[in-house]
Structure 1
Amino acid sequence: MRKTVYLLLIFQLITIPILYAQGVGAAAEETSDLWLFIGRFHPLIVHLPIGFIMLAFLMEVMARWPKFKHLEQSVSFVLTLGILSSVGAAVFGYLLSLSGEYQGSTLDWHLWLGLSTLGFAIIALVLKVKQANTAYFTFLSASVICLTLTGHLGGNLTHGSDYLVRYMPNSLRAMTGMPPKPESKRKPITNLEEAIVFDDLIKPITDNSCESCHNAEKTKGNLRLDTKEGFLKGGENGPSLVPGQAAHSELIKRVKLPKDHEDVMPPEGKKPLTKEEIALLEWWINNDASFDKKIAEVEVPDDIKEILDALVNPQQSSLSPLYAMEIKPASKDEVETLKDMGFSVSPISAESPFIQVSYLISGQPLNEESIKALKKVAKQTTWLNLGKAALADGQKFTFLKDFNHLTQLHLEKTAITDEEVKNLVQMEFLEYLNLYNTAITDKSVEPLTALKRLRKIYLWETQVSEDGKSSLQKAIPELAIIADGLPQNFDVPLDSLNDSTVIAAK
């Protein structure tokens, strides 16, 4: 056992650093496809030392209790497996680094922390064999700490530097001293003529879809798209763009490949560019791919003007800006739980994380348990149909305040009150609201005026007066108020509504 440990220590302290030093120069030269192929197995192998070393640490901790004392006998064996697999992960990682796709300080820290993980684990095993228990546990703990940091940096290299904290709630960010989560929305363009084509239109697209794989730390295909110089220099396949010729630009060719093609950008599994984003890229390149020209200084065809108008006046766009946001999809368990409780749940489109939810069971009130399950998918729900739904005793529609991503909301024939309507004011994306046959009055008008994106509302068979409707119309001039003249059983979804059915308030 001791001979094995010492051999591992010598291998780790001498061989791997030498390999790395040689690799710095080798990475810049042509590398054998065989080595690169083997290196691609690093993400698979690297999970073995993570599991073994963490398991050895947990077994050592658990062995402190008499009930689990027997685990101590297996710690050395598990730790040895962790060391052996760490050596393999280090070698495979070195081979992967030869591709040149990963570089920078993050790669260096990932390397040396990984080697430190291995070194501390070997020293811990030596001390374990010599029964120096206090020092042994100290080095084992140091190995676990280095392992955690190494894994974090590995995730940064693969997925981007904000991968771990991208969805961290602001409350946790405040506790850890981090700044609030940045808004995922595109920076608004207030003056279209003065906007810089690259900075205001193109850079947000590439930041969102390209930069995670083409940055200073991960340069897939030796291409960087986080700087202007990177765009012009190109990568291993030549220039990424040909100014004035979008059709001959590699960037455009890649984003227009079929989504299952091995060379498509962004790669399979990541959100593809929209047709509007691709059109903007082509327009920019065809206008000589300038990095400093303003929109007023380039030719703007009609199809691009429509896209630009939608960016400046998103309320006039047929597609809500909500759908450009990046959110985490609802989990399979959350969706299945809702279905078991009588809800219909389906995505609004094949590749969207947003869902539409309807309550299907008439005569069975929504109780505390079903409302709690519904709230778990509040961020993902953009169409919510609670029409004709009753609430169990003690429940109120106050839970709607959590649904601030709704664009459509059905509350017809429910017991919602004026006080509960106030919970809708945070629904900044709401475009359609059905309050037909409810008991709301003019007291609901003021909170409804806060819904500036609202375009259709059903108010017939309510207690809202003509003056209330006029006040609402004045506050939101674009709003179509359906107030009377329709049959009592007329329930119509937004998509099937046509202009002939709209009866605006007088």
Structure 2
Amino acid sequence: MKFKNIAAASLIPLNTLLLFLLIAGDRVVVPAWLQVFGRMHPLFLHFPIVLILLYVVFVLAVPKVYKVEKWYTTLAEVFLLSAAFTASLTALMGLFLSREPGYDVDALQLHKYTGVLTALVLFIMYQLHDWLQRYSNVLKVGVGIAALVVIYTGHLGADITHGDNFVTAPIIHQEVKQRAALEDAFVYADLVEPILQDKCMGCHNSNKSKGELAMDTKDLLLKGGKDGKLWDTTKPDMGLLMTRIHLPEEEKEHMPPAGKPQLTENEMTILYAWIKSGAEFDKKVTDLSPTDTLRILAGKVLKSSADEQYAFAPADEKEISKLNNNNRVITPLAIGSPALAVNFFNKPFYNKKALEELAPVKDKIVELNLDNMPVKDEDLKVISGFSNLRKLNLNFSDVTGSTLSELGKLQFLRSISLSGTAVKASQLTALANLPKLRAVYLWNTTAASGDVQLLESKNKNIVYQTGFTGDTVVLKLNPPVVENEEQVISKAEPLRLKHYVNGTTIRYTLDGTEPDSIHSPVYNSNVMLDNNVTVKAKAYKKGWISSDIIEQHFYKSSYEPDSAVLLTQPDKSRAASGAKTLIDLQKGSLNFGDGKWLGYRDKPVLATFYFPQTITAKNISFSMLENVDAYIFPPQQITVWASTDGKQWKTLGNITPKQPEQKDKDANRLISAECTFPPTALQYIKFEAKPVEALPAWHRGKGDKGWVFMDEVFVN
């Protein structure tokens, strides 16, 4: 009873203080110790909510017992007093907390008034408690008002803390923003902004701007917060935003705060690449280079309009397996997709029957590649039966264009490639009425530019790609294409190079030197890959400018370790699959955030491999990444040891990889380092790769430590 008397007596001064603070507003200075009291508001606010709702249940759920049972009435009164007391304390804490910066004044104002109103309603109800017991209808109205006020107050508070309509969102229909198709997407709006909305804007918005930072408009994002602007590309760490998200999660300034959903590797990479590229708000994804990190990640996040949704069921896997052979390969367009892509190979083995055999899956095929196949005009009738076809490649086929009208049945066709065929511009009118067609490729055809321009003027939705036709223009060849799918080989296999321009000569080297038009050998299909080798190739054709060099490194893996152990652990944000990463034969990409790289900075890479039987090795290759701008350098030294028992170790060699120079400041490439030694019998291998201790003076992070990124180690 003592507590009851103290709590009841305190209601008058507490509510008087509440009204005073509400009216006085900014004229009252809140000392630091009261700010600490105010920050306990989120902890205390649950007490009055629960107590009020318990009181509501006691009064409304069993009204007959409430009227006649003294113990029941007393318990209800205790709930009401406790609710009134804790509501007053919580409202006071909220008023003190509201004086701190970072909250939107307009959003906060209504929450303040409803919070104080909740405390006053409960105070009045308690003072009139005995009287209300005699008038049950009035009591029920009062209880209902109290419940509604506290729920609405909580709803306003949740909006400030978690965003608009946080409480009611599950029952209110909200239009979900659909992801744009890859072809239509903007880098900021469709890649960057969704990340900020999901992981940042709950605390940094116009209603609740912690650290005086709001992110929900472009202008507010550029303005930054009380600690300054969010990014600065002149700084090694790219500025405040990237620094905060890369801090250890236990650090106070780490963002998002511990306990909140954290950014994924891909999300951090997207933000970094966007800032590094200039943080443009209006750039389209398709304006980026195909090798650009943002473009690569966009391909993972966004779907192409060509594979958005398919209304048909997937094909039977046994049927696909039966139709696959060395000359015709059928694959799903993506994991889990019912759509199929069909590629034909080996020109001498193609015939019309090979197309007709696809009948069991013809309504599942969305991409058909007949590049350089002897496709005849009459074959187009078979192709027209592939009703869901989106993309058709007939480059350098025997099609003359006389039966293009057969393709008018392909209502979903988006692009058709007719480069290197005998098709005339006048025959292309047969395709003009296809509703989805957007691109027709006509390189190396007789289609006159004037006729094509006429077609474009009549068909605004279709782009006719003809290339350059000026007699005085000297064209530059595009690089050759490396068709080998695997970079890691276990046995000899042919090198497969290709160029799409007829009459092109491909010259290549296998020793890392640059190919030239005189001394370098001419590529043919008999070139074999049987060891670690760097292929460099260049295309030449009379009357054309020679192409840029294409470079591809192939790794030979003769012996696969039974197990690997990391003796030093990588940075926890770059841990990939642990030790397995070094022996799983899965190569990482140029995107250092793809989850396939082990990253070390503050300690060397130190690992051991075990082989179930004694092997005789003479070469060990280390596959690594070099991204100079991202501080990823080759190791300053690699040391390799061998053992037959795991106890006595013999040094096999020391490697000092070549370090990038200032001219390489934009380099982003896959590199390798090799340790070659006399044939040695071994069962264990140990190696250490030391990161660069201080980046060179010409680097923007001069003096900082470098990273080592490693994905595979090959033993031969």
Instruction: Give TM-score, length-normalised by structure 2.
Output: 0.41
Q: 1:232–1:240: 8 Å Cα contact kept in structure 2?
A: yes
In 2: Cα distance, 1:252 partner to 1:307 partner: 18
Q: Counterpart in 2 of 1:126?
A: 127
In 1: Cα distance, 2:366 partner to 2:286 partner: 33
Q: How does 1:354-373 map to 2 (within 5 A)?
A: none
1:136 shift after superposition: 3.6
Distance change >3 Å, CA 4–CA 40, structure 1 → 2:
closer
Q: Counterpart in 2 of 1:291?
A: 281
Q: Find the partner of 1:188 among 181, 192, 199.
A: 181
Q: 1:198–1:290: 8 Å Cα contact kept in structure 2?
A: yes
Q: Counterpart in 2 of 1:18?
A: 20
**RMSD between superposed Cα atoms in Å:** 4.3
In 1: Cα distance, 2:316 partner to 2:128 partner: 69
Q: Counterpart in 2 of 1:351?
A: none
1:238 alignment partner, SS class: coil
In 1: Cα distance, 2:54 partner to 2:312 partner: 47
In 1: Cα distance, 2:19 partner to 2:359 partner: 77
Q: 2:162–2:203: 8 Å Cα contact kept in structure 1?
A: yes
Q: 1:52–1:81: 8 Å Cα contact kept in structure 2?
A: yes
Q: Counterpart in 2 of 1:273?
A: 263
CA offset digits 1:447-495 (Å, max 9, x no partner): x99x9923689xxxxxxx966534255356599xxxxxxxxxxxxxxxx
2:253 alignment partner, SS class: coil
Q: Counterpart in 2 of 1:47?
A: 46
Distance change >3 Å, CA 56–CA 310, structure 1 → 2:
closer
In 2: Cα distance, 1:141 partner to 1:240 partner: 47
Pair 1:229 & 2:228 matched: no
Q: 2:340–2:367: 8 Å Cα contact kept in structure 1?
A: no
Pair 1:302 & 2:295 matched: no
Q: 2:39–2:97: 8 Å Cα contact kept in structure 1?
A: yes
Distance change >3 Å, CA 33–CA 11, structure 1 → 2:
closer
Q: How does 1:85-484 map to 2 (within 5 A)?
A: 85-131=86-132, 133=135, 134-168=137-171, 173=172, 180-183=173-176, 185-191=178-184, 195=186, 197-242=187-232, 245=235, 247-293=237-283, 302-313=292-303, 453-454=337-338, 469-475=360-366
2:237 alignment partner, SS class: helix
In 2: Cα distance, 1:266 partner to 1:211 partner: 10
Q: 1:117–1:142: 8 Å Cα contact kept in structure 2?
A: no
Residue type matched to 1:137 in 2? K
Q: 1:127–1:135: 8 Å Cα contact kept in structure 2?
A: no
5+ long unaligned stretches in structure 2 = 320-331, 342-355, 370-387, 389-583, 587-716
Q: 1:156–1:162: 8 Å Cα contact kept in structure 2?
A: yes
1:469 alignment partner, SS class: helix
Instruction: With a CA cutoff of 8 Å and minimum separation of 6, indicate the structure with the bigger relative contact order.
Output: 1
Q: 2:155–2:166: 8 Å Cα contact kept in structure 1?
A: no
In 2: Cα distance, 1:88 partner to 1:76 partner: 18
Distance change >3 Å, CA 112–CA 300, structure 1 → 2:
farther
1:113 alignment partner, SS class: helix
In 1: Cα distance, 2:265 partner to 2:114 partner: 43
In 2: Cα distance, 1:260 partner to 1:455 partner: 45
Residue type matched to 1:186 in 2? R
In 2: Cα distance, 1:103 partner to 1:96 partner: 13
Distance change >3 Å, CA 262–CA 426, structure 1 → 2:
farther
In 2: Cα distance, 1:25 partner to 1:258 partner: 40
Q: 1:224–1:234: 8 Å Cα contact kept in structure 2?
A: yes
1:247 alignment partner, SS class: coil
1:68 shift after superposition: 7.9
Q: 2:47–2:86: 8 Å Cα contact kept in structure 1?
A: yes
In 2: Cα distance, 1:268 partner to 1:316 partner: 40
In 2: Cα distance, 1:313 partner to 1:3 partner: 65
Distance change >3 Å, CA 53–CA 469, structure 1 → 2:
same
1:261 alignment partner, SS class: coil
Q: Counterpart in 1 of 2:544?
A: none
1:109 shift after superposition: 1.7
In 2: Cα distance, 1:434 partner to 1:102 partner: 57
Q: Which structure shows the bigger proportion of residues in strand conformation?
A: 2
In 1: Cα distance, 2:198 partner to 2:274 partner: 17
In 1: Cα distance, 2:339 partner to 2:249 partner: 35
Q: Counterpart in 2 of 1:73?
A: 74
In 2: Cα distance, 1:202 partner to 1:217 partner: 21
Distance change >3 Å, CA 296–CA 472, structure 1 → 2:
closer
2:184 alignment partner, SS class: coil
In 2: Cα distance, 1:129 partner to 1:2 partner: 16
Residue type matched to 2:21 in 1? L
Q: 2:91–2:116: 8 Å Cα contact kept in structure 1?
A: yes
CA offset digits 1:288-344 (Å, max 9, x no partner): 333345567778863233123444545999xxx9xxxxxxxxxxxxxxxxxxxxxxx
Instruction: Give TM-score, length-normalised by structure 1.
Output: 0.56
5+ long unaligned stretches in structure 1 = 174-179, 322-403, 405-423, 437-447, 458-464, 480-495, 499-506
Residue type matched to 2:338 in 1? L
1:107 shift after superposition: 1.9
